[in-house]
Amino acid sequence: MGSSVGRAGTERPLKCREAAARLGVCERTLRRYMRAGRIRYHRLPGGHYRITEDAIDEFWSAHDLPSPARARRTVTTGEPARQRHPKRPSSRRARLGQESPEDYDLSPAALAELRAQFR
């Protein structure tokens, strides 16, 4: 989804590191977004990528997420800010070797079912 045509009136294009910081994600995630076509970018002849401010704004509006600037504004108005990463459910598994004995079903029927899954 790359584009080499710039819009008139846009600020200087951002490097991947700068754009990732504006989005609040790491560079690797930004590159995944670019590969998936979720954010508009253009590629320079040397192979480097550039992302415009407009592309970042389009990303925020297309994914119905508040931009970091918008989220900061809601904090100053007294509204609660949206959490960047919601808390994960507490249904995480225990670390290997620290499970409780109830976590295992070692009955012959359960073992036969597991064997059938891996055949």
Counted residue by residue, the chain has a size of: 119
By DSSP bridging, strand 49-50 and strand 42-43 are antiparallel
Distance CA(103)–CA(57), nearest Å, equals 47
Distance CA(25)–CA(88), nearest Å, equals 18
pLDDT single digits (tens) 16-59: 999 999 888 999 999 999 999 999 999 999 999 999 999 998 88
pLDDT single digits (tens) 58-101: 888 887 665 555 444 444 445 555 555 555 555 566 676 677 77
- Binned at pLDDT 50, 70 and 90, residue 6 comes out as very low
Please, how many CA atoms are within 13 Å of residue 26, restricted to the half-sphere of its CB? Answer: 2
Whether pTM exceeds 0.75: no
Domains of the chain: 16-76 (1.10.1660)
What pLDDT, on a 0 to 100 scale, did the predictor assign at position 73?
A: 44
Measured at the CA of 75, the angle between CA 73 and CA 78, to 5 degrees, comes to: 115
